[in-house]
Structure 1
Amino acid sequence: MATSEQIESPATINISKIGTEDWNSVPTDLEQQSFSQSSSFGFRSVDKENEIISAELITSTNTRITRYDPEREDIVEETITSTEEISFRINQNSELLEVYSNKDDNGEVINRLGQTIDRVTISDLNIYLEDIVEQLKSHEVDFEISALRINNISPEPNTNGNCYLNTHTDSVAEKLISEYEDDVTYLCIEISLDSEEATIGFYRSGSVRIFSNVNEDEKLFSIVRAAISGVNQHA
Protein backbone atom coordinates (compact mmCIF):
# COMPACT_ATOMS: atom_id res chain seq x y z
CA MET A 1 0.00 0.00 0.00
CA ALA A 2 1.42 3.39 -0.97
CA THR A 3 1.82 5.99 1.75
CA SER A 4 0.16 9.37 1.41
CA GLU A 5 3.41 10.82 0.11
CA GLN A 6 3.44 8.21 -2.68
CA ILE A 7 -0.15 8.58 -3.85
CA GLU A 8 -0.39 8.45 -7.61
CA SER A 9 -3.01 9.58 -10.09
CA PRO A 10 -5.78 8.78 -10.70
CA ALA A 11 -6.97 9.36 -7.16
CA THR A 12 -9.81 10.54 -4.96
CA ILE A 13 -8.96 12.97 -2.16
CA ASN A 14 -11.46 13.91 0.55
CA ILE A 15 -10.38 17.09 2.29
CA SER A 16 -11.58 18.34 5.69
CA LYS A 17 -10.58 21.04 8.15
CA ILE A 18 -8.70 19.77 11.20
CA GLY A 19 -7.42 21.49 14.33
CA THR A 20 -5.94 20.63 17.70
CA GLU A 21 -4.42 22.45 20.66
CA ASP A 22 -1.21 20.40 20.53
CA TRP A 23 0.16 19.42 17.12
CA ASN A 24 3.37 18.08 18.64
CA SER A 25 1.51 15.22 20.34
CA VAL A 26 -0.32 14.03 17.20
CA PRO A 27 2.39 11.64 15.86
CA THR A 28 2.78 10.14 19.34
CA ASP A 29 -0.98 9.72 19.71
CA LEU A 30 -1.10 7.85 16.40
CA GLU A 31 1.91 5.66 17.19
CA GLN A 32 0.48 4.70 20.57
CA GLN A 33 -2.65 3.47 18.79
CA SER A 34 -0.70 1.12 16.54
CA PHE A 35 -2.54 -1.68 14.78
CA SER A 36 -2.43 -5.22 16.15
CA GLN A 37 -4.30 -8.42 15.45
CA SER A 38 -6.31 -7.96 18.64
CA SER A 39 -7.58 -4.48 17.78
CA SER A 40 -10.31 -3.33 15.41
CA PHE A 41 -8.26 -0.37 14.22
CA GLY A 42 -4.85 1.24 14.52
CA PHE A 43 -2.26 3.29 12.69
CA ARG A 44 1.04 2.50 11.02
CA SER A 45 3.69 4.17 8.85
CA VAL A 46 3.36 7.32 10.95
CA ASP A 47 5.73 9.98 9.67
CA LYS A 48 6.25 13.68 10.34
CA GLU A 49 8.29 15.85 8.02
CA ASN A 50 8.27 19.59 8.62
CA GLU A 51 4.57 20.44 9.07
CA ILE A 52 3.23 17.32 7.34
CA ILE A 53 1.99 14.26 9.24
CA SER A 54 1.24 11.18 7.15
CA ALA A 55 0.03 7.73 8.19
CA GLU A 56 -2.21 4.80 7.32
CA LEU A 57 -5.33 3.79 9.18
CA ILE A 58 -5.77 0.02 9.37
CA THR A 59 -9.23 -1.32 10.17
CA SER A 60 -10.16 -4.91 10.88
CA THR A 61 -13.63 -6.39 10.53
CA ASN A 62 -14.83 -9.86 11.52
CA THR A 63 -17.61 -11.39 9.45
CA ARG A 64 -19.36 -14.67 10.28
CA ILE A 65 -20.31 -16.81 7.30
CA THR A 66 -21.89 -20.20 6.80
CA ARG A 67 -20.64 -22.60 4.17
CA TYR A 68 -20.90 -26.22 3.21
CA ASP A 69 -17.91 -28.34 4.26
CA PRO A 70 -17.61 -31.29 1.86
CA GLU A 71 -15.27 -33.18 4.23
CA ARG A 72 -17.75 -33.00 7.09
CA GLU A 73 -20.73 -33.12 4.74
CA ASP A 74 -22.31 -30.45 6.87
CA ILE A 75 -22.92 -26.71 7.14
CA VAL A 76 -20.26 -24.95 9.23
CA GLU A 77 -19.83 -21.43 10.56
CA GLU A 78 -16.58 -19.53 10.12
CA THR A 79 -15.26 -16.11 11.06
CA ILE A 80 -13.41 -14.26 8.30
CA THR A 81 -11.24 -11.27 9.20
CA SER A 82 -10.80 -8.58 6.57
CA THR A 83 -8.50 -5.57 6.85
CA GLU A 84 -8.45 -2.28 4.99
CA GLU A 85 -5.70 0.32 4.64
CA ILE A 86 -6.53 4.01 4.20
CA SER A 87 -3.78 6.57 3.63
CA PHE A 88 -4.13 10.12 4.92
CA ARG A 89 -2.11 13.29 5.34
CA ILE A 90 -2.40 16.25 7.73
CA ASN A 91 -0.95 19.68 6.98
CA GLN A 92 -0.51 21.59 10.23
CA ASN A 93 0.00 24.96 8.52
CA SER A 94 -3.16 24.86 6.41
CA GLU A 95 -5.00 22.68 8.97
CA LEU A 96 -6.23 20.37 6.24
CA LEU A 97 -6.79 16.61 6.43
CA GLU A 98 -6.47 14.69 3.16
CA VAL A 99 -7.93 11.18 2.99
CA TYR A 100 -7.03 9.18 -0.09
CA SER A 101 -10.11 7.05 -0.53
CA ASN A 102 -13.89 7.14 -0.93
CA LYS A 103 -16.46 8.97 1.16
CA ASP A 104 -17.16 6.04 3.51
CA ASP A 105 -13.46 5.61 4.24
CA ASN A 106 -13.18 9.35 4.83
CA GLY A 107 -15.79 9.06 7.58
CA GLU A 108 -13.91 6.13 9.09
CA VAL A 109 -10.65 8.09 9.25
CA ILE A 110 -12.38 11.12 10.80
CA ASN A 111 -14.06 8.91 13.40
CA ARG A 112 -10.84 7.11 14.36
CA LEU A 113 -8.78 10.29 14.50
CA GLY A 114 -11.41 11.75 16.83
CA GLN A 115 -10.99 8.74 19.12
CA THR A 116 -7.20 8.89 19.05
CA ILE A 117 -6.01 12.52 18.98
CA ASP A 118 -6.56 14.56 22.13
CA ARG A 119 -8.77 17.65 21.71
CA VAL A 120 -9.04 17.40 17.92
CA THR A 121 -11.77 19.05 15.86
CA ILE A 122 -12.59 17.96 12.31
CA SER A 123 -15.22 19.62 10.13
CA ASP A 124 -16.38 19.68 6.52
CA LEU A 125 -14.61 21.95 4.08
CA ASN A 126 -17.45 23.74 2.31
CA ILE A 127 -15.83 25.79 -0.45
CA TYR A 128 -17.04 28.19 -3.09
CA LEU A 129 -15.80 26.83 -6.39
CA GLU A 130 -15.45 30.32 -7.82
CA ASP A 131 -12.60 30.70 -5.32
CA ILE A 132 -10.90 27.61 -6.76
CA VAL A 133 -10.86 29.31 -10.17
CA GLU A 134 -9.35 32.45 -8.64
CA GLN A 135 -6.70 30.43 -6.80
CA LEU A 136 -5.67 28.63 -9.98
CA LYS A 137 -5.34 31.99 -11.72
CA SER A 138 -3.29 33.46 -8.88
CA HIS A 139 -0.86 30.55 -9.14
CA GLU A 140 -0.66 31.08 -12.92
CA VAL A 141 -1.96 27.59 -13.69
CA ASP A 142 -2.79 26.92 -17.35
CA PHE A 143 -6.34 25.54 -17.18
CA GLU A 144 -9.76 25.43 -18.79
CA ILE A 145 -13.17 24.80 -17.24
CA SER A 146 -14.75 21.94 -19.19
CA ALA A 147 -17.92 21.29 -17.16
CA LEU A 148 -19.87 22.28 -14.07
CA ARG A 149 -22.88 21.17 -12.09
CA ILE A 150 -25.48 23.63 -10.82
CA ASN A 151 -28.14 22.69 -8.29
CA ASN A 152 -31.48 24.44 -7.84
CA ILE A 153 -31.26 26.24 -11.16
CA SER A 154 -34.40 28.06 -12.28
CA PRO A 155 -34.14 29.09 -15.95
CA GLU A 156 -37.82 30.03 -16.14
CA PRO A 157 -40.50 30.96 -13.59
CA ASN A 158 -42.02 27.97 -11.78
CA THR A 159 -39.16 25.69 -12.91
CA ASN A 160 -36.39 24.23 -10.81
CA GLY A 161 -33.80 21.50 -11.21
CA ASN A 162 -30.17 20.41 -11.27
CA CYS A 163 -28.07 20.48 -14.40
CA TYR A 164 -24.68 19.34 -15.65
CA LEU A 165 -23.23 21.60 -18.33
CA ASN A 166 -20.31 21.07 -20.67
CA THR A 167 -18.63 24.42 -21.23
CA HIS A 168 -16.55 25.30 -24.28
CA THR A 169 -15.32 28.76 -23.31
CA ASP A 170 -14.00 29.94 -19.95
CA SER A 171 -15.89 33.22 -20.21
CA VAL A 172 -19.24 31.42 -20.32
CA ALA A 173 -18.22 29.06 -17.52
CA GLU A 174 -17.02 31.87 -15.27
CA LYS A 175 -20.19 33.86 -15.92
CA LEU A 176 -22.30 30.88 -14.83
CA ILE A 177 -20.12 30.27 -11.76
CA SER A 178 -20.45 33.91 -10.73
CA GLU A 179 -24.19 33.99 -11.33
CA TYR A 180 -24.96 30.72 -9.53
CA GLU A 181 -22.09 30.82 -7.02
CA ASP A 182 -24.05 29.41 -4.08
CA ASP A 183 -25.40 26.53 -6.16
CA VAL A 184 -22.33 25.41 -8.14
CA THR A 185 -21.44 22.04 -6.60
CA TYR A 186 -18.88 20.66 -9.06
CA LEU A 187 -16.24 21.93 -11.47
CA CYS A 188 -14.37 19.83 -14.02
CA ILE A 189 -11.08 21.47 -14.92
CA GLU A 190 -8.47 20.57 -17.54
CA ILE A 191 -4.98 21.50 -16.35
CA SER A 192 -2.01 21.70 -18.71
CA LEU A 193 1.22 20.46 -17.18
CA ASP A 194 4.64 20.64 -18.77
CA SER A 195 4.16 17.66 -21.05
CA GLU A 196 0.61 16.42 -20.50
CA GLU A 197 -2.90 17.36 -19.45
CA ALA A 198 -4.86 16.31 -16.40
CA THR A 199 -8.61 16.30 -15.70
CA ILE A 200 -9.61 17.22 -12.15
CA GLY A 201 -13.02 17.42 -10.51
CA PHE A 202 -13.48 19.84 -7.61
CA TYR A 203 -16.55 19.38 -5.41
CA ARG A 204 -18.20 21.91 -3.10
CA SER A 205 -17.72 19.47 -0.21
CA GLY A 206 -13.94 19.66 -0.54
CA SER A 207 -13.52 16.36 -2.36
CA VAL A 208 -11.21 16.25 -5.35
CA ARG A 209 -11.08 13.57 -8.05
CA ILE A 210 -8.04 13.32 -10.28
CA PHE A 211 -9.32 11.40 -13.28
CA SER A 212 -6.13 11.32 -15.34
CA ASN A 213 -3.17 9.02 -15.01
CA VAL A 214 -0.22 11.39 -15.37
CA ASN A 215 3.52 11.26 -14.87
CA GLU A 216 3.78 14.65 -13.19
CA ASP A 217 1.99 13.62 -9.99
CA GLU A 218 4.08 15.79 -7.68
CA LYS A 219 3.34 18.95 -9.65
CA LEU A 220 -0.34 18.07 -10.04
CA PHE A 221 -0.87 17.39 -6.35
CA SER A 222 0.95 20.62 -5.49
CA ILE A 223 -1.47 22.57 -7.69
CA VAL A 224 -4.50 20.95 -6.04
CA ARG A 225 -3.16 21.54 -2.52
CA ALA A 226 -2.27 25.15 -3.23
CA ALA A 227 -5.76 25.86 -4.59
CA ILE A 228 -7.56 24.20 -1.69
CA SER A 229 -5.25 25.76 0.92
CA GLY A 230 -5.77 29.22 -0.56
CA VAL A 231 -9.55 28.83 -0.48
CA ASN A 232 -9.41 27.49 3.09
CA GLN A 233 -7.30 30.41 4.30
CA HIS A 234 -9.77 32.92 2.90
CA ALA A 235 -12.93 31.06 4.02
Structure 2
Amino acid sequence: MTRIIQEASLLLTIVITESPFNANLAILEPGEKNYQAAFEGIENFQFDESRSYGFNISESGDMAIDGYFVEKTPVKTETFDVATQQVVDREIEQTLLIPFQLDFDIGLLSIFSDQSDTSKLISRIGEASGFSFPITETQLPIGRLYANLQDREWSIDVSSIRIQNFEAEGGLSGTYTIKDVGDIRIRELIDSHSSDITILRANIKTPSQEATFGFFQSGTVRLYSSLESEEPLWSEVKEITREAYNG
Protein backbone atom coordinates (compact mmCIF):
# COMPACT_ATOMS: atom_id res chain seq x y z
CA MET A 1 0.00 0.00 0.00
CA THR A 2 2.87 2.41 0.80
CA ARG A 3 4.37 1.82 -2.65
CA ILE A 4 1.02 2.57 -4.31
CA ILE A 5 0.72 5.84 -2.37
CA GLN A 6 4.25 6.89 -3.34
CA GLU A 7 3.58 6.11 -7.00
CA ALA A 8 0.31 8.03 -6.92
CA SER A 9 1.91 11.06 -5.28
CA LEU A 10 4.62 11.07 -7.95
CA LEU A 11 2.02 10.76 -10.72
CA LEU A 12 -0.01 13.66 -9.31
CA THR A 13 3.10 15.88 -9.43
CA ILE A 14 4.01 14.81 -12.96
CA VAL A 15 0.51 15.21 -14.39
CA ILE A 16 -0.01 18.68 -12.98
CA THR A 17 3.41 20.22 -13.68
CA GLU A 18 4.36 18.70 -17.04
CA SER A 19 3.00 20.07 -20.30
CA PRO A 20 0.51 19.33 -21.64
CA PHE A 21 -2.01 18.10 -19.09
CA ASN A 22 -5.77 17.77 -19.16
CA ALA A 23 -8.21 18.83 -16.46
CA ASN A 24 -11.60 17.26 -17.07
CA LEU A 25 -14.17 19.37 -15.26
CA ALA A 26 -17.48 18.75 -13.54
CA ILE A 27 -19.69 21.10 -11.53
CA LEU A 28 -19.95 20.77 -7.74
CA GLU A 29 -22.43 22.35 -5.41
CA PRO A 30 -20.12 24.61 -3.34
CA GLY A 31 -20.23 25.17 0.42
CA GLU A 32 -18.71 24.18 3.76
CA LYS A 33 -21.32 21.47 4.44
CA ASN A 34 -20.56 19.69 1.17
CA TYR A 35 -16.82 20.03 1.72
CA GLN A 36 -17.13 18.32 5.11
CA ALA A 37 -19.30 15.55 3.66
CA ALA A 38 -16.77 14.92 0.88
CA PHE A 39 -13.75 15.01 3.19
CA GLU A 40 -15.22 12.65 5.77
CA GLY A 41 -16.59 10.30 3.12
CA ILE A 42 -13.38 10.09 1.12
CA GLU A 43 -11.22 9.78 4.24
CA ASN A 44 -13.33 6.80 5.33
CA PHE A 45 -13.23 5.26 1.85
CA GLN A 46 -9.50 4.62 1.56
CA PHE A 47 -8.04 2.04 -0.79
CA ASP A 48 -8.73 -1.48 0.41
CA GLU A 49 -7.27 -4.66 -1.10
CA SER A 50 -10.48 -6.61 -0.51
CA ARG A 51 -12.51 -3.96 -2.34
CA SER A 52 -9.71 -3.30 -4.87
CA TYR A 53 -10.43 0.46 -5.05
CA GLY A 54 -10.58 3.54 -2.86
CA PHE A 55 -9.17 7.02 -2.24
CA ASN A 56 -6.15 8.65 -0.72
CA ILE A 57 -6.09 12.34 0.29
CA SER A 58 -2.77 14.04 -0.37
CA GLU A 59 -3.79 17.52 0.80
CA SER A 60 -6.90 19.23 2.17
CA GLY A 61 -7.95 22.60 3.54
CA ASP A 62 -9.31 25.96 2.34
CA MET A 63 -12.43 24.19 1.01
CA ALA A 64 -10.39 21.98 -1.36
CA ILE A 65 -9.38 18.33 -1.37
CA ASP A 66 -6.45 17.06 -3.47
CA GLY A 67 -6.00 13.33 -3.85
CA TYR A 68 -6.31 10.38 -6.13
CA PHE A 69 -8.56 7.44 -6.78
CA VAL A 70 -6.79 4.06 -6.73
CA GLU A 71 -8.17 1.00 -8.48
CA LYS A 72 -6.59 -2.40 -9.09
CA THR A 73 -7.96 -4.34 -12.06
CA PRO A 74 -6.94 -7.69 -13.63
CA VAL A 75 -5.47 -7.36 -17.13
CA LYS A 76 -4.78 -10.21 -19.53
CA THR A 77 -1.46 -10.04 -21.34
CA GLU A 78 0.68 -12.21 -23.58
CA THR A 79 4.16 -13.14 -22.43
CA PHE A 80 6.90 -15.54 -23.47
CA ASP A 81 7.50 -18.59 -21.28
CA VAL A 82 11.19 -19.46 -21.51
CA ALA A 83 10.70 -22.95 -20.04
CA THR A 84 8.13 -24.04 -22.63
CA GLN A 85 9.36 -21.73 -25.42
CA GLN A 86 5.77 -20.65 -26.01
CA VAL A 87 3.71 -17.47 -25.92
CA VAL A 88 1.22 -17.79 -23.09
CA ASP A 89 -1.68 -15.74 -21.70
CA ARG A 90 -1.27 -14.43 -18.17
CA GLU A 91 -3.33 -12.24 -15.92
CA ILE A 92 -1.66 -9.42 -14.00
CA GLU A 93 -3.02 -6.75 -11.67
CA GLN A 94 -2.85 -3.20 -12.98
CA THR A 95 -3.09 -0.21 -10.65
CA LEU A 96 -5.06 2.72 -12.03
CA LEU A 97 -4.33 6.11 -10.45
CA ILE A 98 -6.62 9.09 -11.10
CA PRO A 99 -5.46 12.42 -9.59
CA PHE A 100 -8.23 14.92 -8.79
CA GLN A 101 -9.13 18.09 -6.92
CA LEU A 102 -12.48 18.93 -5.32
CA ASP A 103 -12.82 22.71 -4.92
CA PHE A 104 -15.88 23.60 -2.86
CA ASP A 105 -15.02 27.29 -2.88
CA ILE A 106 -15.79 27.80 -6.57
CA GLY A 107 -17.68 24.52 -7.02
CA LEU A 108 -15.49 22.55 -9.43
CA LEU A 109 -14.15 19.01 -9.69
CA SER A 110 -10.92 18.75 -11.72
CA ILE A 111 -9.79 15.29 -12.86
CA PHE A 112 -6.23 15.09 -14.19
CA SER A 113 -6.69 12.01 -16.35
CA ASP A 114 -8.43 10.71 -19.47
CA GLN A 115 -11.95 11.98 -19.98
CA SER A 116 -13.19 8.39 -19.89
CA ASP A 117 -12.33 8.34 -16.16
CA THR A 118 -14.63 11.26 -15.33
CA SER A 119 -17.90 9.37 -14.95
CA LYS A 120 -16.19 6.67 -12.90
CA LEU A 121 -14.70 9.15 -10.46
CA ILE A 122 -17.95 11.09 -10.11
CA SER A 123 -19.72 7.84 -9.25
CA ARG A 124 -17.09 6.81 -6.68
CA ILE A 125 -17.05 10.22 -4.98
CA GLY A 126 -20.84 10.06 -4.76
CA GLU A 127 -20.62 6.57 -3.29
CA ALA A 128 -18.03 7.64 -0.71
CA SER A 129 -19.97 10.75 0.36
CA GLY A 130 -23.39 9.13 0.42
CA PHE A 131 -24.50 11.19 -2.60
CA SER A 132 -24.98 14.13 -0.24
CA PHE A 133 -24.24 16.76 -2.92
CA PRO A 134 -24.62 16.82 -6.72
CA ILE A 135 -21.74 16.53 -9.20
CA THR A 136 -22.72 17.35 -12.78
CA GLU A 137 -20.77 16.59 -15.94
CA THR A 138 -21.92 18.98 -18.67
CA GLN A 139 -20.73 20.74 -21.81
CA LEU A 140 -18.60 23.86 -21.48
CA PRO A 141 -20.21 26.89 -23.19
CA ILE A 142 -17.25 28.18 -25.22
CA GLY A 143 -18.99 31.44 -26.18
CA ARG A 144 -19.59 32.49 -22.57
CA LEU A 145 -16.09 31.38 -21.62
CA TYR A 146 -14.55 33.61 -24.28
CA ALA A 147 -16.68 36.55 -23.16
CA ASN A 148 -15.50 36.01 -19.56
CA LEU A 149 -11.86 35.94 -20.69
CA GLN A 150 -12.39 39.22 -22.58
CA ASP A 151 -13.73 40.83 -19.41
CA ARG A 152 -10.32 40.49 -17.79
CA GLU A 153 -7.55 42.97 -18.47
CA TRP A 154 -5.47 40.28 -20.13
CA SER A 155 -4.02 39.74 -23.60
CA ILE A 156 -6.08 36.96 -25.25
CA ASP A 157 -4.64 35.67 -28.53
CA VAL A 158 -6.89 33.03 -30.10
CA SER A 159 -4.78 30.71 -32.28
CA SER A 160 -7.57 28.46 -33.56
CA ILE A 161 -11.19 27.40 -33.13
CA ARG A 162 -12.96 24.27 -34.31
CA ILE A 163 -16.57 24.49 -35.45
CA GLN A 164 -18.86 21.57 -36.17
CA ASN A 165 -21.77 21.87 -38.62
CA PHE A 166 -19.94 24.75 -40.28
CA GLU A 167 -21.43 25.75 -43.65
CA ALA A 168 -18.81 26.76 -46.20
CA GLU A 169 -19.21 28.14 -49.70
CA GLY A 170 -20.85 25.90 -52.25
CA GLY A 171 -23.28 24.39 -49.75
CA LEU A 172 -20.60 22.25 -48.09
CA SER A 173 -20.79 21.61 -44.36
CA GLY A 174 -18.64 19.79 -41.86
CA THR A 175 -16.17 20.29 -39.02
CA TYR A 176 -13.64 23.04 -39.67
CA THR A 177 -10.58 24.24 -37.78
CA ILE A 178 -9.91 27.93 -38.35
CA LYS A 179 -6.44 29.27 -37.51
CA ASP A 180 -4.96 32.74 -37.13
CA VAL A 181 -8.29 34.22 -36.06
CA GLY A 182 -8.38 37.99 -35.57
CA ASP A 183 -10.28 39.62 -32.69
CA ILE A 184 -13.16 40.86 -34.84
CA ARG A 185 -13.48 37.60 -36.76
CA ILE A 186 -13.49 35.43 -33.61
CA ARG A 187 -16.27 37.52 -32.10
CA GLU A 188 -18.32 37.15 -35.28
CA LEU A 189 -17.76 33.40 -35.39
CA ILE A 190 -18.69 32.95 -31.73
CA ASP A 191 -21.84 35.06 -32.12
CA SER A 192 -22.99 33.04 -35.13
CA HIS A 193 -21.75 29.54 -34.14
CA SER A 194 -21.65 29.65 -30.34
CA SER A 195 -23.26 26.25 -29.74
CA ASP A 196 -21.17 24.58 -32.47
CA ILE A 197 -17.69 25.61 -31.28
CA THR A 198 -16.03 22.47 -29.91
CA ILE A 199 -12.46 23.71 -29.29
CA LEU A 200 -10.91 27.12 -28.67
CA ARG A 201 -7.14 27.47 -28.27
CA ALA A 202 -5.72 30.70 -26.92
CA ASN A 203 -2.58 32.17 -25.45
CA ILE A 204 -3.37 34.09 -22.26
CA LYS A 205 -0.98 36.71 -20.97
CA THR A 206 -1.34 38.53 -17.66
CA PRO A 207 1.07 41.08 -16.15
CA SER A 208 2.84 38.24 -14.32
CA GLN A 209 2.21 34.99 -16.24
CA GLU A 210 1.63 33.56 -19.70
CA ALA A 211 0.32 30.19 -20.86
CA THR A 212 -1.50 28.53 -23.74
CA PHE A 213 -4.80 26.76 -23.09
CA GLY A 214 -7.23 24.64 -25.04
CA PHE A 215 -10.90 24.83 -24.01
CA PHE A 216 -13.05 21.91 -25.15
CA GLN A 217 -16.84 21.85 -25.32
CA SER A 218 -16.67 18.40 -23.71
CA GLY A 219 -15.62 20.04 -20.42
CA THR A 220 -11.86 19.58 -20.70
CA VAL A 221 -9.29 22.34 -20.24
CA ARG A 222 -5.84 21.49 -21.62
CA LEU A 223 -2.72 23.34 -20.55
CA TYR A 224 -0.01 23.44 -23.21
CA SER A 225 2.50 25.45 -21.16
CA SER A 226 4.49 24.79 -18.00
CA LEU A 227 2.29 25.98 -15.16
CA GLU A 228 1.66 24.43 -11.77
CA SER A 229 -1.88 23.71 -10.66
CA GLU A 230 -2.07 26.31 -7.90
CA GLU A 231 -0.35 29.19 -9.67
CA PRO A 232 -2.54 32.33 -9.96
CA LEU A 233 -3.22 32.05 -13.69
CA TRP A 234 -4.44 28.45 -13.51
CA SER A 235 -6.60 29.26 -10.48
CA GLU A 236 -8.15 32.25 -12.26
CA VAL A 237 -8.79 30.25 -15.44
CA LYS A 238 -10.66 27.68 -13.32
CA GLU A 239 -12.79 30.44 -11.81
CA ILE A 240 -13.54 31.91 -15.24
CA THR A 241 -14.49 28.48 -16.55
CA ARG A 242 -16.80 27.88 -13.58
CA GLU A 243 -18.45 31.28 -14.19
CA ALA A 244 -19.15 30.26 -17.79
CA TYR A 245 -21.20 27.32 -16.56
CA ASN A 246 -23.33 29.73 -14.50
CA GLY A 247 -24.41 31.64 -17.59
TM-score over 0.5 (shorter chain) = yes
Distance 1:17 1:215 in 2: 22
Q: The residue matched to 1:104 in structure 2 has which SS? A: helix
Match among 1, 11, 15 for residue 25 of structure 2: 15
Counterparts of 1:167 and 1:75, CA distance in 2:
52
Separation of aligned partners in 2, 1:205 and 1:44: 27
1: CA distance between counterparts of 2:85 and 2:139? Answer: 57
Partner of 2:4: none
The alpha carbon displacement at 1:69 in A equals 3.1
1:175 equivalent in structure 2: 188
Deviation of residue 157 (structure 1)?
A: 6.8
Equivalent position to 1:112, from 121, 124, 130: 124
- Structure 1, unaligned runs of 5 or more: none
RMSD: 2.7
Structure 1 position 96, deviation (Å)? 1.3
In the alignment, the residues of structure 1 paired with residue 166 and residue 54 of structure 2 have an alpha-carbon distance, to the nearest angstrom, of 44
| Residue 78 (structure 2) pairs with residue 61 (structure 1) | no
The alignment partner of 1:125 has SS state of coil
SS at match of 1:7: helix
Q: Structure 2: which amino acid aligns with 1:182?
A: S
CA contact (8 A) 1:27 1:47 kept: no
For residues 181-220 of structure 1, the aligned pairs below 5 Å read 181-194=194-207, 197-214=210-227, 218-220=231-233
Normalised TM-score (structure 2): 0.82
Q: What's the TM-score, normalizing by structure 1? A: 0.86
Contact 2:229 2:235 in 1 (8 A): no
Deviations 1:64-95 (A, max 9, x none): 44644334667766431111211111121322
**CA distance in structure 2 between the aligned counterparts of 1:155 and 1:68, rounded to whole angstroms:** 54
Equivalent-residue separation in structure 1 for 2:208 and 2:153 (angstroms): 16
> Which residue is equivalent to 2:52?
40
Q: Give the share of equivalent positions with the same residue, in percent.
A: 23
Aligned to 2:39: 27
Q: Distance in 2 between matches of 1:20 and 1:189?
A: 28
Assess, with a 3 A threshold, how the Cα gap between structure 1 residues 2 and 138 changes in structure 2: closer, same or farther: farther
Kept after mapping to 1: 8 A contact 2:228/2:234: no
CA distance 1:95–1:16, change in 2 (3 Å): same
Where do residues 220-231 of structure 1 align in structure 2 (5 Å cutoff)? 220-231=233-244
CA offsets per residue over residues 186-226 of structure 1, 9 Å max, x none?
A: 11101124566421100112211111224797133123212
- Structure with bigger helix share is 2
> Which ranges in structure 2 are unaligned for 5 or more consecutive residues?
1-9
- How far, CA to CA, are the matches of 2:217 and 2:77 in structure 1? 40
Q: C-alpha separation between the residues in 2 aligned to 1:47 and 1:196?
A: 25
Q: Given the superposition, is the C-alpha separation of residues 125 and 93 from structure 1 closer, same or farther in structure 2, using an over 3 Å criterion? A: farther
Contact 1:20 1:121 survives alignment (8 Å):
no
Q: What CA distance in whole angstroms lies between the structure 1 residues aligned with 2:40 and 2:238?
A: 25
Contact 2:57 2:65 in 1 (8 A): no
Cα separation, partners in 2 of 1:12 and 1:65, compared to 1, 3 Å: closer
Which residues of 2 match residues 39-188 of structure 1 at below 5 A? 39-65=51-77, 67-71=79-83, 78-119=90-131, 120-156=133-169, 158-188=171-201
Letter in 2 for 1:51: M
Q: Distance in 2 between matches of 1:68 and 1:153?
A: 51
